[in-house]
Structure 1
Amino acid sequence: MEDFEVKFKAKIWIYEGPTPWYMITVPLNVSTIIKKRFGHLHRGWGSIPVIVGIGESSWKTSIFWEKKGTYLLPIKKQIRVKEKITNGDIVEISLLIQNVGL
């Protein structure tokens, strides 16, 4: 299976739980492709390991499947501070799923 890389723009929003999380919803069309190609590889919580890029930052994390049919991408504080992004901002994301280790 080949690596999968995609770029898209999305809005940052806050998941209001006991501990707020800053999230990006992976667009439906991209989520559909990921689910079809990599859904059988889901780990705990429906997660798939990814490498994400925003601005000058790149890091390893996971995307998480949700019942609405899309994946959620958490954006950690270190990245938000470095890239000067916050709730409501629209950002360009590079998302890579590598075949290695899957």
Structure 2
Amino acid sequence: MELVFAGPVIEWRGPSPYYFVTVPAAESADIREVAAMATYGWGVIPVEARIGGTAFTTSLFPKDGGYLLPLKSAVRKPQGLSAGDDVTVAMTVRL
């Protein structure tokens, strides 16, 4: 399943800061339809994603009926991203 969406980079301040992009509601609904085939436990969904020229693999985190796409430093720094920046994500759910 391939998806493209846009959204702001958000920061969650836990014991250390984490950065995410929220997957929009419509795309989250599409992902939920295949979640049972994709998840390897705890509701996380493996994906391949691209932001600008940076491709990466990660897992979506379930949150409030939707999903969060984590953005590691290795993704944010090459693209010069920080909290509040708008990004476009091309993403493939790994089934």
- TM-score band by shorter chain is over 0.9
* Aligned with 1:15 (options 12, 17, 23): 12
Q: Which residue of 2 aligns with 1:69?
A: 65
The question of 1:79 aligning with 2:52 is answered no
Q: How many residues align?
A: 95
Per the TM alignment, residue 40 of structure 1 is displaced from its structure 2 partner at its CA by 5.0
Per the TM alignment, residue 19 of structure 1 is displaced from its structure 2 partner at its CA by 1.2
Q: Distance in 2 between matches of 1:44 and 1:21?
A: 21
Instruction: Write out the 4+ residue segments of structure 1 that deviate beyond 6 Å after TM superposition.
Output: none
Q: Distance in 1 between matches of 2:18 and 2:57?
A: 17
Q: Which residue of 2 aligns with 1:90?
A: 86
RMSD (Å) for aligned C-alpha atoms: 1.2
The one-character-per-residue Cα deviations of 1:18-74 (angstroms, maximum 9, x if unpaired) are 1110011100110011011224542333101100100001011100111x1110111
**Unaligned 5+ runs, structure 1:** none
Q: Which has the larger radius of gyration?
A: 1
TM-score normalised by structure 1 residue count: 0.86
Q: Secondary structure of the equivalent of 1:88?
A: coil
Per the TM alignment, residue 78 of structure 1 is displaced from its structure 2 partner at its CA by 1.2
TM-score normalised by structure 2 residue count: 0.92
Name the structure where strand makes up a greater proportion of residues: 2
Sequence identity percentage: 34
